[in-house]
Amino acid sequence: MTQGLTQLSSDERMFYDQVVRFARDRVGPHVSHMDEKGALEKSLLPELFELGVMGVEVPPEYGGPGASFFTAALAVEALATVDPSVSVLVDVQNTLVANALLRWANHDQKTRYCGKLTSEWVGSYALSEPASGSDAFALQSRAVKTGDRYVLNGRKLWITNANESNLFIVFANVDPSKGYKGITAFLVERDFKGFSVGKKEDKLGIRASSTCELILEDCEVPEENVLGEVGKGYKIAIETLNEGRIGIGAQMLGTAQGAFDYAMRYMNERKQFGQTIASFQGMQFQYARCAMEIEAARLMVYNAARLKDAGQPFIKEAAMAKLYASEVAERVASQCVEFVGGVGFTRDYPLEKFFRDSKIGKIYEGTSNMQLQTIAKLLQSQYGG
């Protein structure tokens, strides 16, 4: 039994095991090829919808299973033990896109889109721009009201799932004179006039996850596709990303666990000087520390997800979980490459890919420095600063 999973309920454990089996049996055979060509295996998409991991929290009245945020995080973790690229597709679908719709969309919007997100449509979250990364509210995209619609112009960068997505939550400013209070969120369908997907990035890791530019050239969006209130997009962006960080923590947790599981199997089979590699005390001290750090990351991620589901404050815990899990993933994956020796440095074995995939955890959905800033601000407030 994987360490840490003993704390799950029987239903949660059954769900986790089901997703792990799917990842190993259905995703596993495609991982190397997807990484090499930098694209998702298209046949996996309908299977992910059939598995029930696309829109985990969507309630039954809108066509979903009505499960918890914690369940979505479990799916993300389980998939990442085999392929973090597929994991992040599911993560963005749940913790950013579906989550934002469930919190901020009106009944008509939920009726139109939530069912599709559980059955056939992939979603993307489009906030970042060429000059707007950590300074998210410096975005330059503009939206001008014209009759019963808005006309959007601008460019978005680093948009996950863009090649596969049918629905995009796009942030643009309707009144730059108001600064961030002019930012508004729009529900943009792929076939809307003036909308197109541009260049796909050629990345170090999570290569099968599409990361693309979006181009808005007089893109026409019906007024009824404003998500939430006009001028309140900044609130949607902040609060959704706070929750999304738990998903990235889960992805990094799964990445670390996947690398560790492979390395441990290898070390218990490979012999040197008449004994298995795992038997040497020098190795034992190292992989024992890896196991401890993975377990600590798991407890932090699970705690943040459970707090979110319980309606309790979780922003500090989410930032800590994302920060720590991404550090653990990079450190453990690097160690695991060394544990198996020279073959770990080759593409014939999966560990070099886990190592490459781990790097993004410190960067997207808030860099490590931004997480530290968030934690520090909340601690300062807590202690009366």
- What residues does each domain of the chain span? 5-122, 125-231, 235-382
Looking at domain 125-231, its CATH architecture is Beta Barrel (2.40)
Q: What does the pLDDT read at residue 7? A: 78
Q: Are 197 and 162 in contact (CB under 8 A)?
A: yes
pLDDT at 2 over 90: no
Q: How many CA within 13 A on the CB side of residue 345?
A: 3
Average pLDDT, the chain: 96
Q: Which of 20, 15, 40, 21 is nearest to 30 (CA)?
A: 40
- Is 365 labeled as catalytic in the residue annotation? yes
Which of 332, 321, 330, 324 lies closest to 261, judged by CA? 332
At 184-237, the pLDDT tens digits run: 999 999 999 999 999 999 999 999 999 999 999 999 999 999 999 999 999 999
CA dihedral 218→152→174→96, nearest 10 degrees, is: 180
pLDDT at 3: 57
H or E, element range at 196: strand 195-200
Q: Which two tokens stand for residue 356?
A: 């490459």
What number does CATH give the domain 5-122?
1.10.540.10
For the record, the structure tokens of 100 come out as: 């934002």
Q: pLDDT for 307-335, tens place per residue?
A: 999 999 999 999 999 999 999 999 999 99
pTM of the model: 0.96
Give percent of the chain above pLDDT 70.
99
1 pLDDT band, cuts 50/70/90, is: very low
Residue 135, classified by CB atoms within 10 Å of its CB into exposed (0-12), middle (13-18) or buried (19+), is exposed
Q: Report how far residue 70's alpha carbon sits from residue 75's, in angstroms, rounded to the nearest whole number.
A: 9
Q: Which fold has domain 235-382?
A: Butyryl-CoA Dehydrogenase, subunit A; domain 3 (1.20.140)
Dihedral Cα 370, 375, 381, 385, nearest 10 deg: -80
Percent with pLDDT over 90 in the chain: 95
pLDDT tens digits, 334-374: 999 999 999 999 999 999 999 999 999 999 999 999 999 99
